[in-house]
Structure 1
């Protein structure tokens, strides 16, 4: 197939989870013989922080002004077998309208932010990247979130097919590696700053660090306010590039997974970081949300503390043997169902059904 994707970014992983999600899926699709074109707006933030400017598995079309360049950008889809518009693509609403009018292939919406989308649709009927009126026109609505969200998309907003389409992990990239002293720690966290995650990060990591002053903790990710007060044994790293993520996880005895409020409320919304950490075999400590047990089994494949004291007890009371067994079980579970190749096969089936 020829597949054209209009997405937020694939060239830069700075400050977003979209790039690694697209990279995993599109690499697998290309490996299965498909031709991929990725359309991305050339914005300053990503232009200055591109860590994959020329992917080997797809061609990238950058543009500056949709109104001026729409004809050229839509032309890519006129002979395509599938067109995909992603959440937070800056010109998604205009692109979707043009595709509905001109494309002869299935047009799919890929929502990597379903809980946020649903909240905005309930409040105003529109987001910056999709409107309520557009949803019934997509051949399928691919959702980052499963569970009740799928029924709401179909019953309340008219989606023809609302289908769970989770992120995935590339096992060729994400796997256990040798420990690197730079990243070595008792507990790590990798993620961009988000105000609705920060209180959990301070409670479960920063306060736990205060209880264990002899241990080292690492928080990696951009956009954290300089005013935050970290425990003296917490090291901040502004950015860890994706090629270093496997080593980052493999060098942590445990890593922390945290979920934004909208995702917790919706449930059934596993992050790409959860899958990537699992594939690296690191033991994961996480907040709790509805549906988590469908991905990893609490107590055996993932740990769910209720306080900083719980975290401290986990870090000091679980033996290295049990920690490694837990990481291995999580790795086995995720690689059985959530690799990029699994998701590519799902995508092929969905397009076939839509066509």
Structure 2
């Protein structure tokens, strides 16, 4: 570490492609903000799942991107390069050789080099180890210098501490002001309610309850769904499916509809304190957000004033029935003010930096 600036090796799913990769926006926001604070990040990502063929940004100037072949040999070659870093991060859900990376990054741990597990889907990880007593990760958790999560609050922190984690801290999703902001409306996305999210097993039933059934119940209103995998899903005639929405179109997608809908995956809703990245994206565009209920919403936005909350699909129908253009605009503007004042990636990077410096200082004192 030079001049209190960290050289970080980061193993994640992808920084340059959001294709089947919901963590992309989160990675970009955090890493860009760290770079602005003087830290250097090398992001190692596998060439897998057609992500390189569906890039939505070029290699950025605020991080070095290393794309490696999906082979064990390539993974070990990247680990060898990562040994020069001050901190090594293994993110959850890389998608290629996850178990190998979980184990092997710990071999890079020294008194002067931190090794961190960054869980971008803590509910899924915790469910995984709770359902399999033979999962190797159970024995690895206590060995990491710390566990970072992108959400979960006390339920996730307490669960990780029970499993032996030395330290577990949520670094919540946030707004990347460089990429998500208000823009002019776009006729492609005009509708009363829009939802953006990939079709996933633990989200599909909630999409039916909070989006598709309300659409069927209100034939006089227009609905739009974006994301991968919904092409063969039965939908009422007032629902338009537009497929994968590239990051460059997210601002217009959020700015144009009267309201946008956030639907949590079942596991996220169960643990609570897990605002999706798209909640902050939409707030950063000044959108009127309707979200399904989960514990901890009021930690981020004030319900009824900065965000609308629906506990059931019937609530979505009722909110839409009463929502005027004026009210929607006022709610979106209030959310925009809140996210700029408290929930940008600059705020998160400052929190992370303070946490890491304290850990580095602690380790130096222990060695001395």
The normalised TM-score by structure 1 is 0.93
- Cα deviation, 1:275-326, whole Å, max 9, x if unaligned, reads 1111111111111111122112222222123444432332232232222111
Contact 1:278 1:331 in 2 (8 A): yes
Once residues 41 and 195 of structure 2 are traced to their aligned partners in structure 1, the CA distance between those partners, rounded to angstroms, is 33
- Check conservation: 1:125, 1:131, Cα contact below 8 A: no
Q: Shift of residue 53 of structure 1? A: 4.2
Q: Is 1:315 matched up with 2:323?
A: no
Deviations 1:219-241 (A, max 9, x none): 00001251x22111111011111
1:125-274 alignment, distance < 5 Å: 125=133, 131-144=137-150, 145-154=152-161, 156-224=162-230, 226=232, 228-274=233-279
Looking at structure 1, the residues matched to 312 and 79 of structure 2 have their Cα atoms a distance apart, in angstroms, of 51
Asked whether 1:121 is paired with 2:161, we answer no
Partner-residue secondary structure (3-state), 2:139: coil
* In 2, Cα distance between equivalents of 1:350 and 1:125: 31
Partner of 2:284: 279
8 A Cα contact 2:148 2:168, kept in partner: yes
Tell me the distance in 2 between the aligned counterparts of 1:273 and 1:96. Answer: 28
CA 1:311/1:67 → structure 2, altered by over 3 Å: closer, same or farther?
closer
- Given candidates 85, 99, 111, the residue that maps to 2:119 is 111
Conserved? CA contact 2:230–2:241, under 8 Å: no
Task: Supply the distance in 1 between the matched residues of 2:280 and 2:228 (Cα, whole angstroms).
Answer: 21
Partner of 2:342: 337
Task: Name stretches of at least 5 consecutive residues in structure 2 with no aligned partner.
Answer: 1-5, 361-368
**1:13–1:70 Cα change, 3 Å:** closer
Instruction: Please state if 1:304 is matched with 2:309.
Output: yes
- The CA RMSD over aligned residues, in Å, is 1.9
Pairs aligned (count): 351
Query: C-alpha separation between the residues in 1 aligned to 2:197 and 2:301?
Result: 20
User: Is contact 2:19-2:54 (8 Å) kept?
Assistant: yes
1:82 and 1:351 in contact (8 A); partners too: no
* Deviation (angstroms), 1:330: 1.6
Output the TM-score relative to the length of structure 2.
Answer: 0.90
Q: CA deviation at 1:266?
A: 1.0
- Alignment counterpart, residue 8 of structure 1, candidates 9, 13, 19: 13
Deviation at 1:35, TM superposition (A): 1.6
Residues 228-287 of structure 1, C-alpha deviation per residue, up to 9 Å, x if partnerless? 221111110111111110111000110000011111111111110111111111111111
Moved more, 301-310 or 17-26: 301-310
Q: Aligned partners of 2:172 and 2:108: how far apart in 1?
A: 29
Matches for 1:84-103 after TM superposition, within 5 Å:
84-89=89-94, 90-103=96-109
Conserved in 1, the CA contact under 8 Å of 2:56 and 2:248?
no
CA shift, 1:97, in A, is: 3.2
